[in-house]
Amino acid sequence: MNKLAFAAAFTAAMAVGAASFFAFAQTDESASPPERAARLQAALEARAQTRPRLAPPRLGLPAKPAEEDRINWTEMRTALALSARRDTSAGQTTAAVIARPPGMRAAAAENFKTVVTREVNVTHLPVLAPEGSRIAQTLKVYSLGSSYSATAEVEKGVAMRMSGARKKLVIGDLRSARTRIAAMRKESRTLGSVDAPYLVTRSESSTDLTFAKFGAGYVLSIMCDDPADARCAEDDFIVKLASNLLLLNPEAEGE
């Protein structure tokens, strides 16, 4: 059937349908409005052409709801103390000047002009953000209680977002998922700031470094104005950025 014939047939079908509709409405005036509405709905459903929706293929076990993990506040304070101890040891060395070791350091939210303290105080997990002079001037934190997101400018042409959440997905005994996770762990390296395995991945919009610590999951993302910028195209910049983290709620505890 050519396009003109198809258009003519479609127009005729629409006309017949419209005529039937108005004829039905006019010959049913004796019924009450609810009755007319019910009959009209039944007539429209009878004339409708429907296709059964194909069921999606079964890919594995049904997804389980996300669970909220418990935060290990003791581990957080221990990591903070270890970083302070390493900083002290590095400062007391009599050898040549050495770079400050990676670590996590306390920096209360009140020290940042652009951070709303309440957003940090209502967050029920350690609030981490990278160090940096430009970051300190532009840092903002947005909290949802059991998760947060922090944004800032890093350098000219580079912005960052760091998110943390207590939610975790339980995959059960699905072999394919566990195999994939095991392979990812083999590729992971250790992040010096929090002594945790990490992975670097890339998408069209960002370069992401992910890790889990203290019972929470974290993602540090950087976005470059130029996608070909080496700071986003290679791992060195984001790893260095994540190697020195600030803890904005060092006094937090409990659930």
3-class state of residue 223 by DSSP: strand
Q: What is the pLDDT of residue 3?
A: 45
**Which pLDDT does position 47 carry in this prediction?**
58
Quick one: pLDDT at residue 6? 43
Could you read off the pLDDT tens digit of each residue along the chain, which spans 255 residues? 444 444 444 444 444 444 444 444 444 556 666 676 677 667 666 655 554 545 554 555 555 555 567 899 999 999 999 998 888 887 776 555 567 789 999 999 999 999 999 999 999 999 999 999 999 999 999 999 999 999 999 999 999 999 999 976 555 555 655 666 566 566 668 999 999 999 999 998 999 999 999 999 999 999 999 989 999 999 999 999 999 999 999 998 865
Say how far apart CA 25 and CA 250 lie, in whole Å.
Answer: 71
Q: What long-range pairs does 118-124 form, CB within 8 A, spacing at least 24?
A: 119/143, 119/148, 120/148, 120/248, 120/249, 121/249, 121/252, 123/147, 123/148, 123/249, 123/252, 124/71, 124/166, 124/252, 124/255
pLDDT, residue 8, reads 46
The pair of three-digit structure tokens given for residue 209, joined into one six-digit string: 């470094």
Give the separation between CA 180 and CA 44, rounded to whole angstroms: 50
